[in-house]
A and B are shown apart, each in its own frame.
Chain A
Amino acid sequence: MADKKNRAVIVDGIRTPFVKAFAQYMKMDTIALGNVAVKALIARTELAKKDIDGIVWGGVILPSAAPNVAREIALDLRLGAHVQGFTVTRACASGLQAVTSAVSAIERGEADVMIAGGSDSTSSAEIKLPQKVVHALAPLAFGKATPKDMLGVLSQLMPITEILPKMPKIAERTTGEVMGESAERMAERNEVSREAQDEFAARSHHRAAAGIRNGVIREELAPVQTPDGKTVTTDTLVRGDTSVEKLAKLRPVFSKRGTLTAGNSSPLTDGASAVLVMREDKARALGYTPKAAFRSWSYVGVDPADQLLMGPALAMPQALDRAGMTLGDAGIVDMHEAFAAQVLSVLRMLSSDAFCKTRLGKDKAVGDVDPERLNLYGGSVALGHPFGATGARIVTTVANELVRGDKETGLIGICAAGGLGAGAVLERV
């Protein structure tokens, strides 16, 4: 960790309201959403364009024509040609990766002021032509095609089923398993019941609704003007009126006799979030009051064929160890809720002596996470999960809560596709 003067600090964070895919933001792509978040962050912090050194952006569904979203945002917002940018992708941990990359860059002395964040528009997922069609059409695209060539192409395109575009889905490339199926197996393996999942999901919604009501969440939001002329000012997925009874009525979606439903899984979402990261002395010189700094972080990988989303159970203890603290020291814990079953499975692993002894080499369990400290203002199940935006959303929420609740440290845990996991410890500045 860098010394106090040179460490990077989180000055502020902001995000767009999160809305369901194919709804209000349907006509906005990931770059447009990123523009809104970054513009709002600059406006709120009254940051001078000339002070910005660069942008780091996280995203999962990157536009294939312009995959370096970070630079596109800088150009769109006319921040000045000097604002360089790069884009990172680490599945659902992309947002956190963007923030930690910015922190690394600052602490390495590469930059003083960085904007880090992420966005994703699941509405803008591109439907690809199968590679077979691309290869078959190549002779027509290059040079003049004779009728014989045309026939040749046609013969290559049979049978028709092989050339139809495939519906995009969140499936593991290596195992072919859809993420919900993996989470379903985790629920079974860790004996997480449907009731427990529904209860967790209901709590997530209730807490998010309370957060919206008492203004805590509004503080993090920037309103969005859609191309249709509408304005979105609040998260649209939160259902404050839901209950365990209502959730219990939903049908399982990934397996007939399964326990995962639309209600206890995170939905496909559009949105963006961004945080302002600066070197501490620079922030003070510019007159900012920094909120938080990273004490440690950790990224891990597990076998995707095993328990795909167990990564945080390994990464969070590692981050705690690196920060030189225990689970009990963390004033708040914020975990990304890909599925209620996934969070509950990870919590079970952390509180299991057997797991922690065998898999983490510890003497005893890492400990129980107090529900009163976990995801105080809901999580991805209620708010939604625009893949790349979740990391900066969590960093913002934790940083704000450290200040608001006068707490020392906060622990973050994020699971990601490919068997990845991330953990981080934020401390109050």
Chain B
Amino acid sequence: MSDFLLELGKNPTARKMIKNLGLPVPVPQSLKRPRGPRSARPLHDQAVAFGSFGSSTLTKALAGILPRAGADIAVVGDVEPFVAPGEAYGRPPLALDLDDLPERYRAHGLVFDASACRTPEDLRAVYDFFHPLMRRIAPCGRAIVVGTDPSSLCDPEAASTQTALEGFTRSLAKELGKRGSTAQLLYAGPDAADRLEGPLRFFLSYRSAFVSGQPVWVSELVKDGAPDPGEGPLDGKVALVTGAARGIGEATAEILANEGAKVVCLDRPQDDALCSQVARRIGGSVLLADVSNPEAPEKIAAALADEHGGVDIVVHNAGITRDKTLAKMKPELWDLALNINLGAIQRITRKLIDDDVLHDEGRLVLLSSVAGIAGNLGQTNYAASKSGVVGYVRALAPTLAERGITVNAIAPGFIETRLTAAIPVMIREGGRRLSNLGQGGQPSDVGEAIAFLSLPGAVGITGGVLRVCGGALIGA
């Protein structure tokens, strides 16, 4: 599906002309996206500016994470923690003076450690860091605020101060979105400093192209497993992707396969041809089953256990929409949406857990939707099923933490797929433009987010919802 404004914006002459004529046409920035599978240094030679407030317990971990990822670091304030790791990775830190920035300095990423902020006055440090650097962020740049999980703070004033970061980050994301840049907030729980590595690598790289303005909670809850090797993180893992014949499922299957996973592509028997094509292209296998069928869980569990010796990653992507206002909705449509989008997920997941088909250190990723978070006209059935997914993830996560398994939901916003191409043009334009980034996302953007939550390095994130919506206004 081509986006006319995006195509226009890619033409430098047209872009300049619109600007010079003062036309009120907002041309969105074409987003930079990753090429190829994950590398050992996702931030290779990217300039990242780092700042922190007070004596943060996280800074030491961050000082290791950033040079390891290949970033060229410029530090505002105390350079000391960055010197030794910089030396180890041949990335000596540069001291950055915010009052006297080098003329040509452009940062790809800004990282501010605000985890030690405890009073509203402390938050001034956040302003002091970001304000002078706002015009120094490269297109499709990344801003990350690191905070302390407010629920881990007993002091109400401190918890309130940390929660304030959420409003700040969401607004920052809106301000940066015009140039394709994003901002996220990482809340670190106690002792979760080292688990920030996976999330930072994802959110600072181009893999998070369509994730904007999101708070992410990183915790110690889930038992630690094998470390993330950086390259080929899913080597030897078996992944099940439902609805893999097209769209988001297809993109996800491809990305997981590129990271080394053996992907089992599941779709309905009537999509045999498409599904087989995908499987052949990525070197995976096909499993034909209708997830809404009561016998499906048994069949899927048996196939995974017999042919692959179990499964490590399960992506519940299969879903349908049957839109009608509640007044006009037939009961069959209601049942169908809830059965496929929620019932099937619960039944299959339960079966995989009960039969021990899901391995320890596994990853469950369930597809929700921004409609499930915010509601949508004519989608009572769909939204109910999708918010049910959010609740399922939240409740299921603690029960699997001891086994090292994480459970998360992904909530896509406006993604350019067959589904959204069918929306009437005016509503479609609204859906596209009313977001921080002013454009729709690609299926691969959702696939990248799903792949991220499937990594060993995402062990800190569980029970949450990650929205891949470009910072959509609806569903906020």
Task: Give chain A's interface residues, CB within 8 Å of chain B.
Answer: 186, 189-191, 303, 305-307, 310, 345, 349, 352-355, 357-359
Contact = CB atoms under 8 A, between A and B. Distances in A.
6 contacts: A191-B92, A306-B44, A352-B87, A355-B88, A358-B85, A359-B88
A189 B92 contact: yes
B91 interface: yes
Top 6 A-B pairs ranked by shortest CB distance?
A358-B88, A354-B84, A189-B90, A354-B87, A354-B88, A355-B88
A305 B40 CA distance: 11
Contacts of A357: 88
Nearest to B68: A358
Name, among A307, A353, A358, the residue most crowded by chain B CB atoms within 10 Å (CB to CB): A358
Nearest to A359: B88
Nearest to A189: B90
Contacts of B90: 186, 189-190, 306-307, 310, 345, 349
B70 A355 contact: no
Contact of B70 (A306, A349, A354): A306
B105 interface: no
Contacts of A306: 41, 44, 70, 90
Nearest to B86: A354
Contacts of A190: 90, 92
Contact of A303 (B40, B83, B87, B88): B40
Contacts of B70: 306
Contacts of B85: 354, 358
Interface of A (DSSP majority class): helix
A359 B68 CA distance: 11
Contact of B91 (A189, A305, A345): A189
Name, among B44, B70, B89, B91, the residue most crowded by chain A CB atoms within 10 Å (CB to CB): B89
Nearest to A191: B92
A307 B70 CA distance: 11
Interface in B23-67: 40-41, 44
B71 to A, nearest CB: 12
Contacts of B41: 303, 305-306
Name, among B41, B70, B87, the residue most crowded by chain A CB atoms within 10 Å (CB to CB): B87
B44 A355 contact: no
Contacts, number: 35
Nearest to B40: A303
Interface residues of B, number: 13
A310 B91 CA distance: 13
A307 B44 CA distance: 11
B89 A358 contact: yes
A191 B83 CA distance: 12
Interface of B (DSSP majority class): loop
B123 to A, nearest CB: 34
Interface in B375-403: none
Interface string B63-106: 00000001000000000000111011111100000000000000
Nearest to A313: B90
Nearest to B72: A189
A345 B91 CA distance: 12
Nearest to A358: B88
Nearest to A305: B44
Interface string B200-221: 0000000000000000000000
Contacts of B40: 303
Contacts of A349: 90
Nearest to A306: B41
Nearest to B90: A189
Contacts of A305: 41, 44
Interface string B211-248: 00000000000000000000000000000000000000
Contacts of A189: 90-92
Nearest to A186: B90
A342 to B, nearest CB: 12
Nearest to B85: A354
Given A354-B85, A355-B87, A358-B85, 9 more contacts: A186-B90, A306-B44, A306-B90, A310-B90, A345-B90, A353-B84, A354-B83, A357-B88, A359-B88
A186 B84 CA distance: 17
Contacts of B88: 352, 354-355, 357-359
A357 B91 CA distance: 16
Nearest to B92: A191
Contacts of A307: 90
Contacts of B92: 189-191
B48 to A, nearest CB: 15
B81 to A, nearest CB: 12
B244 to A, nearest CB: 32
Nearest to A353: B84
A353 B85 CA distance: 10
Contacts of A354: 83-85, 87-88
Contacts of B84: 353-354
A355 B88 CA distance: 4
Contacts of A345: 90
A349 B87 CA distance: 8
A245 B94 CA distance: 29
A31 to B, nearest CB: 39
A427 to B, nearest CB: 31
A191 B90 CA distance: 9
Nearest to B70: A306
A345 B84 CA distance: 15
A11 B341 CA distance: 77
A306 B44 CA distance: 8
A352 B40 CA distance: 22
A354 B89 CA distance: 9
A343 to B, nearest CB: 15
B103 to A, nearest CB: 14
A355 B83 CA distance: 11
A58 to B, nearest CB: 29
A30 to B, nearest CB: 34
Interface string B272-302: 0000000000000000000000000000000
Name, among A186, A306, A310, A352, the residue most crowded by chain B CB atoms within 10 Å (CB to CB): A306
Interface string B259-275: 00000000000000000
A310 B87 CA distance: 13
A349 B88 CA distance: 8
A357 B92 CA distance: 16
A191 to B, nearest CB: 6
A345 B83 CA distance: 16
A140 to B, nearest CB: 38
Contacts of A353: 84
B46 to A, nearest CB: 13
Name, among B84, B85, B88, B92, the residue most crowded by chain A CB atoms within 10 Å (CB to CB): B88
Nearest to A188: B92
A189 B90 CA distance: 5
Contacts of B87: 352, 354-355
Nearest to B87: A354
A305 B70 CA distance: 10
A306 B88 CA distance: 13
Nearest to B89: A358
A186 B90 CA distance: 8
A236 B176 CA distance: 60
Contacts of A355: 87-88
A349 B92 CA distance: 12
Nearest to A352: B87
A190 B87 CA distance: 7
A49 to B, nearest CB: 50
Contacts of B91: 189
Contacts of B89: 358-359
B222 to A, nearest CB: 26
A355 B89 CA distance: 7
A286 B91 CA distance: 54
A305 B231 CA distance: 14
A359 B92 CA distance: 15
A196 B241 CA distance: 57
A325 B92 CA distance: 30
Contacts of A352: 87-88
Contacts of A359: 88-89
